[in-house]
């Protein structure tokens, strides 16, 4: 009986150990001395936090740049649409005379271009155009340039262009001279005929 510890003593020892354990658990972490492993872990966590914050800032900056670029693209597209609409409205409201003047200016430019080219090259290109365009250009060129280009064209192409120019070229109206009224001739005296015999004589 005397060799065994009493139940009261065992319970007292357990209570003492529990109190010590609770005190250790309740003690703040800052009171514990830092270890090398804990310091390395803390430094690694700090580095990860810094790199994560840098990545987040980079992603945010990229998103801002992408949004700004998208807004610029949309603004440019709207501006182009407005310009195209304004040009279409101006073209629709233009007078027919203005359109004809612009078209004539284009044909004049083409005529100057073909006159500056070599006749063989100009003939090769001109023959591929529509007949109406060929006529408009040929009518605006100098006669010598037109003749040289016609000479360099194929016989069929030169004949077609010549016939079209002949049909489209207005013919000069020849006005006959008005005849002057002839002067009135004096009335001729009657010529006396032979005397006729009187009946009964």
Please check the confidence at residue 148 and state whether its pLDDT lies above 90.
yes
For 74-128, the pLDDT digits (tens) are 898 888 888 888 887 776 665 555 667 777 888 899 899 989 999 999 999 988 9
For residue 173, the model assigns a pLDDT of 40
For the chain, domain boundaries: 41-93, 96-168
Q: Cα–Cα distance between 96 and 86 in angstroms, integer?
A: 18
Tokens 């605006």 locate to: 140
What's the pTM? 0.36
The token pair that represents 155 in the structure block:
């016989």
List pLDDT tens digits, range 131-142. Answer: 999 999 999 999
Whether the per-residue pLDDT at 169 is higher than 70: the answer is no
């Amino acid at each position: 009986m005397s060799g065994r510890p009493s139940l009261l003593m065992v319970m007292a020892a357990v209570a003492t150990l529990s109190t010590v354990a609770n005190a250790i658990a309740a003690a703040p972490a800052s009171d514990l001395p830092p270890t090398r492993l804990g310091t390395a872990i803390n430094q690694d966590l700090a580095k990860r936090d810094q790199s994560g914050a840098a990545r987040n800032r980079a992603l945010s900056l990229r998103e801002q740049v992408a949004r700004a670029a998208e807004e610029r693209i949309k603004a440019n597209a709207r501006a182009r649409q407005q310009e195209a609409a304004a040009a279409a409205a101006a073209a629709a409201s233009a007078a027919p005379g203005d359109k004809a003047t612009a078209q004539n200016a284009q044909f004049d430019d083409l005529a100057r271009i073909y006159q500056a080219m070599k006749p063989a090259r100009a003939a090769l290109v001109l023959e591929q155009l529509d007949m109406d365009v060929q006529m408009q250009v040929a009518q605006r060129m100098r006669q010598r340039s037109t003749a040289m280009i016609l000479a360099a064209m194929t016989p069929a192409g030169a004949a077609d262009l010549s016939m079209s120019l002949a049909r489209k070229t207005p013919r000069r109206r020849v006005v006959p001279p008005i005849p002057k009224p002839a002067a009135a001739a004096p009335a001729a005296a009657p010529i006396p005929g032979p005397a006729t015999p009187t009946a009964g004589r």
